[in-house]
Chains A and B, each alone.
Chain A
Amino acid sequence: MGKVITAVEEKENVSNLLDENINSKNETLSQLGKYEEGMPWNPVEQVILERRSIRAFKKEPLPNSMIRRILEAGRYAPSTGNTQPWKFIVVNSQEIIEEMEKDAVKVIKFFMFLLDYTRGNTLRRLYILSWVKWVIRLMKNELNPVPFALMTQIAQDRTPAFHGAPTLVLLVEDRRGAGNPSVDIGICGQNMVLAAHSMGAGSCWIGITKVLMYLPKWRKKFGIKYPYRLNDCIAFGWPSPRADGMVQREVQLVQWYEKGMNYDPRVERQGE
C-alpha cells in the first residue's frame, strides 16, 4: 500500500514540475524525431538552450547514483576512432575541495602579484606593463581578458574558484588519443553537462582548476603524469537558486557557400 502511494505521489510531483516548465514557456514542446519549420523547441533543444552555467549550489551533493548516471552520458560520448581518451576523477569530499580552493587561490594570488597591472600604484602599473604583454602573447588563452579578470577577482577574495560545489569531476585527457583528444574531452564533458541539466542538476565548467597543476602536491594526489594531462573540470550540484533559462546572445555572422567556385560566400546574420 505504502509503495503505491509513494509511486502516485512521485508521479504527481513529476507532472507538477512538467506543468511548471510548460507554463513558464506558455507552450508545449515538440516531439523528438521530427522537424517542421518554426515548430516549438523539443525537449533536447530546450535543455541545450536553457542551460546556464550554475555557480551557486546547495550544500547537499547529488546522490551517487545520479553522478553515475551523468558519467554514463560521458562514457557514451563520441571520440575520434573510438579511442575514448579520457579519465574521470570524481571528487566528492568537502575536505579535499576546500583544500583545492585554498591552494588555487594561493597560486592565483601569486600569479596576480606578478601580472596584475590593473591594481596598485602607477609605478607598479608601468613596470608590469613594460613586459606583461609578452607574457599575454605567450599565454594568449590563459590570459585572455576574461580569465584574467576572473583571476584578479579571485586574488582579491571577491569570488571563489570552485563556487562551493559539492562535487567536482576532473576531466583528464589521455594525450595519446587519436586526432585531437582535447575536442573529445569537450564533447564528453558537454554530454555530461546536458544530462545533468536535463535531470534538474546544475553544472559549471571550471577551467581555472588547471592552476593546481603548478603544484606537485595535486599532480601527485590525482596521479596526473604522462600520458595524462588535466584538461578541464566540471562542478555538479543542485542549483540554488534555479538559474536555468534562455538568454540573449550575439547575432552570429555565418558564411554560406552556395553558388559555386566562382562566387563569394553569402554572409547571413544567424539569430536575427
Chain B
Amino acid sequence: MRKFSLMDRWRIPTYDKLEHMQTGDLYFNPKKCKQCGICIRVCPGGCIVTDSVTKKDMLKDMKKGVKSGVPYVDKMKSGVTLCMACYDCGAACPHNAISIKKNINPKYFYKRLTQASEMTYPKKY
C-alpha cells in the first residue's frame, strides 16, 4: 500500500509535465498491424492517430484510416500522452497488434494508492 502524505495531498500535479504524470502508453506491433483503423475509431479520447488520420476523420469515413500507416499514441510537446490505459483498442483489435507499455498513474494529489503497476488478465480463482 502506498502512503498518501500531507505533501501529496497539498500538491496538484501539472497535467502536461512529464515529472508529474505517468500516463499510459501503447505498443503497436508493425508486423501484426494491418492498418484497418479500428483502434483509432474506438479510442475514447481520440489520442490514437496516424500521421494523416485522426478519430474525427474516421467517424466521418471509415475508409480514410485504411492503410494510412501504423497508428501511435499522440504525445504533447513534453512527452505526456493522453492515454489512460483502458485498452479498449486492444480488445477491439482483430489482429492482436496492440499491447500496453505503461499504465496511468498521476503523481501527488491524484496518486493511485492500491493499484500496482503490473497488469494482468482476469484470473480464475
Q: B-contacting residues of A (Cβ < 8 Å)? A: 37-41, 49-50, 52-56, 117-118, 129, 133, 136-137, 140, 144-146, 148-150, 152-153, 157-160, 164, 241-255, 267, 269, 271-272
Tell me the dominant secondary structure on chain B's binding face. loop
**Residues in A whose Cβ lies below 8 Å from that of B45:** 149-150, 153, 158-159
Report yes or no: B90 in contact with A267, Cβ–Cβ below 8 A.
no
Nearest B residue (CB) for A48: B122
Contacts A55-B44, A245-B92 given; indicate if A40 touches B86 (C-beta within 8 A).
no
**Residues in B whose Cβ lies below 8 Å from that of A145:** 13, 15, 21, 104, 106, 110
Add 12 more A-B contacts to A244-B91, A272-B120 (CB < 8 A).
Answer: A50-B91, A52-B86, A55-B88, A153-B46, A153-B82, A159-B44, A241-B94, A245-B90, A250-B119, A251-B118, A251-B120, A272-B123
Provide the bound-state CA to CA distance between A136 and B109, in Å.
10
**Residues in A whose Cβ lies below 8 Å from that of B90:** 245, 247-248
Partner of A148, one of B15, B104, B117: B15
Q: How far is the CB of A154 from chain B (nearest CB, A)?
A: 9
Nearest B residue (CB) for A164: B59
Partner of A246, one of B43, B117, B121: B121
Provide the bound-state CA to CA distance between A255 and B1, in Å.
9
Report yes or no: A158 in contact with B119, Cβ–Cβ below 8 A.
no
Q: How far is the CB of A94 from chain B (nearest CB, A)?
A: 15
